Structure 1
Amino acid sequence: MGDYNEREYKISINPRILELLGPSLYTNIYYVLAELIANAYDANAHNVYVIQTGDKIIVEDDGRGMSYKDGDIDIYLDVAVETRTTSDDVFVEGTERKRMGRKGIGKLAALSISDRVLVMTRKDGEESGFVLSRHVGDDNRLEALADEDILFEIVEGNGTSIVMANPQYELHKTTTAIKNNLLKIFPLVGPDFRVHVITDHGKFSVDSFDKEIIKGLGALLILGEEFLHLVDNFDRDFDGESKAEELLDVRDSESRPLRLKTKSGEEGDYDLVIKGWIGAYRTTRDRKKDANDFPDNFISLLSNGKLGEYNILPTVGQNKLQEVYVVGQLHVDLFEETELPDMALSNRQGYKTDDPRYKEVISFVRSGLLPTIVDMRNTWGELNKYEKNKVKEEQKKKDEDELLKKVEEYKDTTSRRATQKIESELGDRTPKGIKTIIENEMNEFMPMLGLKKKVDDQKKRILISQTKKDKTLADIVYKMLSFNNVPDEDIIYTNCDNEECRVPNMMNIFEYLRKFFVDSVSDKKMFVIYVTSDDMAKAWGAVTEVGAGWITQSDHDIFNIHSHVPQAPLNVAAEWQTSQKDGDDIIMNSVEFDKFVVKIMDICMNLGYKTKAKDANKDELNRYVTVA
């Protein structure tokens, strides 16, 4: 084994850099664990043990270990030296595993959560150990561990143990939370590479991608045959419905040709291959229970199985409501191509955004993948709403039929009783007396119509009448209604991103609107907000809604797009609000801005909703429009 006093451990980095870089290199304990687990993977380990006990966190693996006499430890302590320089370095020696490490700084990850890290290693019976610290003397020498202090928790053969003493952070208390966070940041587990977690609260092993994530999806898009196994855990809802087939989309890997410069400056042709999966949750309820958990809606980028950027959604997203349901992991191994420039940031929490590889992936996700999965989630929402509405509509129809029946009974009973009383009491009564008799009879039997309020309460209350080309302004109207406590179930808005407001899937829009405008014994009128424009005047559906609103004498208000002049039968005698549209931007002058706020508040107050203060409404509207 050798006398540890004869061994010298020197780290090849300025001690001052360790002090400055150590605490701030990584922002989350799971990023640290991912780096240490990746090191174990590159050491050809088959098992990694993450152990939290007492005042320490340990990451121990059964990899090949390191030898002092063979120079392995000298290489380990040579910080920030690139570990992959040629094509011969791509794979872990003797395996088909692609190396994850490249920069040579992942070994410092543990210093982000502990200022005293014990590194112990064993190879072919030879044991070595030293203390990696943020505070190193000017001679760069590290404290050596005595032979009797080199202790492994589990591994008996070759391997390495990293002990983080008095860590600044700790793992979650529940095994489920630990497992979910590990899988989000290090999904490359399987029968050949297992992660075992041991805490005071229990122990478990992670040897397959978390099935629960896939089981919780309502829509799934797969890129590449190596991810086809995920289909086994995808529960496609609404079997029997024709549109249910649209909830699963299996494709080949996306391949895009790129001409890139190598590290040596030479140009070459490469295939940018994107594989993986992207899905949409059925619901976000009960997700991210702890503030320290990683977000559940994310699109991660991985290369050679290692996380490079946890979430590109803020970059590719358009702040649509449905994006909160999106989750995915995309693998792009060209990001780690050895002969190309290194594009990963030093802490493995992002990539250089000006690299053409990164730009190409972002473009593909933004223009292709994300809109597709959002549309698929909308389809799921429509199908789900249709199933729920079938039951609700049946009950509403039953209530309407019962009310109609009671109306007929009421009319029959009151007219019959009134006739009888008139016959027996008419005498020399005046017409005024006859009227009193009829009114008294109607009042006596009025409770027979007790279902009316229930029927009224089930009706939609606001229709946003518009055409798809005016969706930008209509969206703002919808958002401001929501801001003033109008629930989605009270709104009909056919182009809304929220399926609750849209016409139920597989239901004809005109049949649906007729339920509210015509085929109802309820006298509760729907309020209509017309978003008018030159495009709306040419849209048959929107014009039909104007006609229906006029026939039923529904109250309404107008939000107009500049250059169009609203016409009768709309109430053009009243003042309307006008906005200008420049592409996707909505512009208002200060008067029209104030008018917009006042109209929204008046609509909500008149319908009985509790509105926010005017200043709060102005602040909210300012988020969506430009005031010129």
Structure 2
Amino acid sequence: MKEYSLNVDPRILELLGPNLYSNIYYVLAELIANAYDADAENVYIISNQDDIRVEDDGHGMSYEKGDINKFLNVAGISRIGEDDSYTKAGTRKKMGRKGVGKLAALSVSECVNVLTIENGEKSGFVLARRPIDGNKLQAIDDNDVIFSRIENHGTAIVMKNPQYRLHKGLYAVKRNLLKIFPLVGSDFKIHIIRGQEYEVVDRFDENIMNELNTLISLGDEYSSLCDLVPTEFPDRRYDLIESRPPFRTSVSVKNNEGTIREYPLEIVGWIGTYRSTRGRKAEMTDFPDNFISLYANKKMGEFNILPIVGQNKLNEVYVVGQLHVDLFELSELPDMALSNRQGYKSDDPRYEAVVEYVRKDLLPAILRKREIFTDLNNAEKKKAAEANLKQKEEELKKEIDDFRNNASKGAAENIRKAGADVSRETIEKAVSDSINSNAPDLGLKAIVNSQKKKILISQTYQDKPLADIIFQLLLFNNVPAEDILYTNCDDEVCRVPEGSSVYDYLKDFFVESYSAQKIFVLFVTSENTKASWGAITEVGASWITQIDHKIFNINPFRPEHPLDDNAQWHTTFREDNELRMSMLSADIFCQKIEDVCLRLNYKSKTRAENIRYLETLVSIR
């Protein structure tokens, strides 16, 4: 009679089982990874009425050869050095390392049947949160070891009476699995089965790439993905889709022997943006569609670092990416993965190096590409709107010219009728009557005014973080984004059309306009201002045209004439690329925003409301 012993205090199963994983798809990922490490070519996820079965056609496990005893050695390290880093067939790098993935199924069910066959030798036992006899597990008779899809070799994990269920739509299950386990292809397929429903996950690229409009690939292995991303602007394809070499750097890490060494860190993979987010929430998948995942040895270690590397920008909702860093799983280095495989230790230098690169380089690069796409996509609409505004301007000019001509002729005729020898009051009345009779011609002025931008945020790209805060607070105070001109804004409605010049826009609609409305300028000044020709030009233009403005300055720069340097300006401090304000400067910041709203007839928030909101955008201390 075969005996099966779990080589760990059985109480660990009750403690860890239901708490180890928070989502059934993470459980499935562990079981799929085990199948991958067993050199399986097919994994079958079968959802039945009373169980969920994960079956694979890998090597299977032999009781006689000690495979099962090794399997039941919970928390036994499976990789120590590079010699044992490959699977039995020698063609794949092992994903497993901690030896706790076998407990994953216990997060779903109190009792799990483990069935296996190796070269015809069958074995089976029940893995339970509470073993019935010490560390002895209940054996399953070899005659009851029955498989659904395999015959001679492989393993099945049967989760009885599962506490979690798969999504009711198999396509949603497929999308979830692709997000956390993209390593599928002709040599490794995932089959999802429920009754007569059947989905095969065998092509990662086709399922994701055709939904994107921008892409940056890293490394030759992923460069072919660029060909799968459609583009509506072939002349600007390189601006939207780019193949880069791997990102490489080095990090100092203490290895398992306690020696600190320099190790090369390489990042490959891809990052892109969706064309649209329309309809995605309706799918109700278990994972958000915007994410940046980290993988090592092809296995997901952390689903989403976007909240860590992002800045809560509006267009981050479009971002999606999968980055592979095999140094995370180098066998001679300490294991940096959390025990539930749902994240990494954030203070590990390898993790810190990846986060810094994505935050400072990769994410801003893909967001710039998204901005280019949005500008191209909306350029025609914007140009049409500008053309319409120009037409209204021309009509306004004609109306004013006609008004002047008719008013002067009418006044002259009225004076003539009154006789040459008339009083001053009579002449003034004649002119006034003529103006009033022709005044309706100026109704077009209100239309032109309503279509023009009201506020210009003048800044350099290096000072965009402070400009973004100004923009967000304007929106909070009921200023429509359509009324703001901000060339580096994440919201394309605030930018001029792609290919157009902001200076041409200002000249056409403010300098050479018959409309008396002037744009209100909010200057973001810093040491970067002196090095920016565009910023200097805008300062000069505002002085020449005597435009009202306010100054939001970054210390230690001091604003100078022709800016209104006699008036109090706001001061922000920048330390290690992080912005902060004192409570006084935060109050002045809000006061200036509120004054702009008052002058332009927007209903602003209270000072207390603005301070509370500002605290969510910048450090105040």
TM-score bracket, shorter-length normalisation: 0.7 to 0.9
* 2:390 pairs with 1:397: yes
Distance in 2, matches of 1:304 and 1:580, equals 43
87, 110, 126: which is aligned to 1:115?
110
2:477 counterpart of 1:484? yes
Native 8 Å contact 2:53 2:156 kept in 1: yes
Report if aligned partners of 1:66, 1:121 keep a CA contact under 8 Å in 2.
yes
C-alpha displacement of 1:523: 2.5
Give the 3 Å change call, closer, same or farther, for CA 403–560 of structure 1 in structure 2: same
Query: What residue is the counterpart of 1:337 in the other structure?
Result: 330
> Where does residue 619 of structure 1 map in the other structure?
612
- 1:282 and 1:456, CA in 2 relative to 1: closer, same or farther beyond 3 A? farther
Instruction: Name the counterpart of 2:170.
Output: 175
Which stretch of structure 1 is more off in the superposition, 512-521 or 183-192? 512-521
- Residue 42, structure 1, aligned to residue 42, structure 2: no
- Looking at structure 2, the residues matched to 369 and 480 of structure 1 have their Cα atoms a distance apart, in angstroms, of 27
Task: For 2:150, give the aligned amino acid.
Answer: V
TM-score calculated relative to the size of structure 2: 0.87
Cα 1:426–1:571 shift into 2, 3 Å: farther
CA 1:337/1:627 → structure 2, altered by over 3 Å: closer, same or farther?
closer
Q: Residue deviations 1:1-31, cap 9 Å, x none?
A: xxxxx33322222111111111111121111
Match of 1:96 in 2: 91
* Partner SS for 1:557: strand
Question: How many angstroms apart in 2 are the aligned matches of 1:502 and 1:201?
Answer: 52
Contact 1:517 1:552 in 2 (8 A): no
Report the residue type matching 1:510 in the other structure: Y
Q: CA deviation at 1:187?
A: 0.4
Give, as a single letter, the amino acid of the residue that structure 1 aligns with 2:107. Answer: S
Q: How high is the sequence identity, in percent, across the aligned residues?
A: 51
Shift of 1:403: 3.5
TM superposition shift of 1:60: 1.9
Contact between 1:175 and 1:201, CA under 8 Å: does it hold in 2? Answer: no
Maintained 8 Å contact 1:288/1:294: no
Alpha carbons of structure 1 residues 240 and 17: separation in structure 2 relative to 1, 3 Å: same
Q: SS state of the match for residue 55, structure 2? A: strand
Question: 1:473 and 1:273 mapped to 2: Cα distance?
Answer: 33
Aligned Cα RMSD in Å?
3.5
Say which is worse superposed, 501-510 or 14-23, in terms of deviation: 501-510
Query: 1:111 Cα shift?
Result: 0.8
SS at match of 1:506: coil
Contact 2:272 2:366 in 1 (8 A): yes
Deviation at 1:37, TM superposition (A): 0.9
Asked whether 1:273 is paired with 2:263, we answer: no
CA distance in 1: counterparts of 2:407 and 2:449, whole angstroms: 23
Q: Write the distance in 2 (CA, Å) between the matches of 1:558 and 1:234.
A: 43
Name the counterpart of 1:3. none
Aligned counterpart, 1:190: 185
1:465 counterpart residue number: 458
1:210-609 → structure 2 map (5 Å cutoff): 210-241=205-236, 244-256=237-249, 263-264=256-257, 271-287=264-280, 293-317=286-310, 323-411=316-404, 432=425, 439=432, 443=436, 446-467=439-460, 470-532=463-525, 536=529, 540-560=533-553, 575-580=568-573, 582=575, 584-586=577-579, 588-609=581-602
2:62 alignment counterpart:
67
2: CA distance, partners of 1:299 / 1:581: 28
Shift of 1:190: 0.4
Q: CA deviation at 1:157?
A: 4.5
1:257 & 1:582 partners in 2: Cα distance? 26
Match of residue 158 from structure 2 = 163
Structure 2 unaligned regions, length at least 5 = none
The verdict on how the C-alpha distance between 1:575 and 1:357 changes in structure 2, with shifts beyond 3 A counting, is closer
Q: 1:460 to 1:322 in 2, by over 3 A?
A: same
Distance change (3 Å), C-alpha of 1:429 and 1:56: farther
Measured in 2, the distance between the counterparts of 1:83 and 1:479 equals 51
Instruction: Find the counterpart in structure 2 of residue 57 from structure 1.
Output: 52
Partner SS state of residue 64, structure 1: coil
Counterpart CA distance in 2 for 1:342 and 1:627 is 38
Distance in 1 of aligned mates of 2:195 and 2:415:
88
- String of CA shifts for 1:489-508, please: whole Å, max 9, x gaps: 22123344544434444333
- The 1:50/1:500 distance shift into structure 2, 3 A limit, reads same
Question: Partners of 1:444 and 1:114 in 2: how far apart?
Answer: 86
Q: Secondary structure at the match of 2:86?
A: coil
Q: CA deviation at 1:329?
A: 1.4
Structure 2 match to 1:13: 8
Please give the alpha-carbon distance, in whole angstroms, between the structure 1 residues aligned to 2:572 and 2:261: 52
**Counterpart residue identity of residue 206, structure 2:** K
Aligned partner letter, 2:455 = I
Distance 1:536 1:256 in 2: 32
Aligned mates of 1:564, 1:272 — CA distance in 2: 38
Distance in 1 (alpha carbons) for counterparts of 2:253 and 2:285: 39
Q: Structure 1: any 5+ residue segments left out of the alignment?
A: 1-5
For 1:52 and 1:161, the matched residues in 2 are separated by: 13
Aligned to 1:24, the other structure's residue is in SS state: coil
**What's the offset of the Cα at 1:200?**
6.1
State the shift of 1:518 in Å: 0.9
Closer, same or farther in 2 for the Cα pair 1:384/1:88, shift >3 Å? same
| 1:80 match | 75
Q: 1:421 to 1:249 in 2, by over 3 A?
A: same
Matching residue's letter, 1:457: S
Moved more, 15-24 or 452-461: 452-461
Query: Cα deviations across residues 327-382 of structure 1 (Å, max 9, x unaligned)?
Result: 22122233333344433332222234454544443444344433433443344344
State the distance in 1 between where 2:572 and 2:327 align.
Answer: 47
CA distance in 1, matches of 2:19, 2:422: 97
**d(CA) in 2 for partners of 1:173, 1:384:** 36
AA aligned to 2:520 is F
SS at match of 2:288: coil
1:152 aligned onto 2:157 = no
The farther-off stretch of 537-546 and 244-253 is 537-546
Question: Is the contact made by 2:572 and 2:585 (CA closer than 8 Å) also made in structure 1?
Answer: yes
Preserved CA contact (<8 Å) 1:180 1:210: no
Moved more, 56-65 or 29-38: 56-65
Instruction: Answer yes or no: is the 8 Å Cα contact 2:453–2:485 preserved in 1.
Output: yes
Residue by residue over 1:586-606, the C-alpha shift from the partner in whole angstroms, topping out at 9 and shown as x without a partner, is 555544432322221232243
Deviation at 1:618, TM superposition (A): 0.9
What count of residue pairs does the alignment treat as equivalent? 621
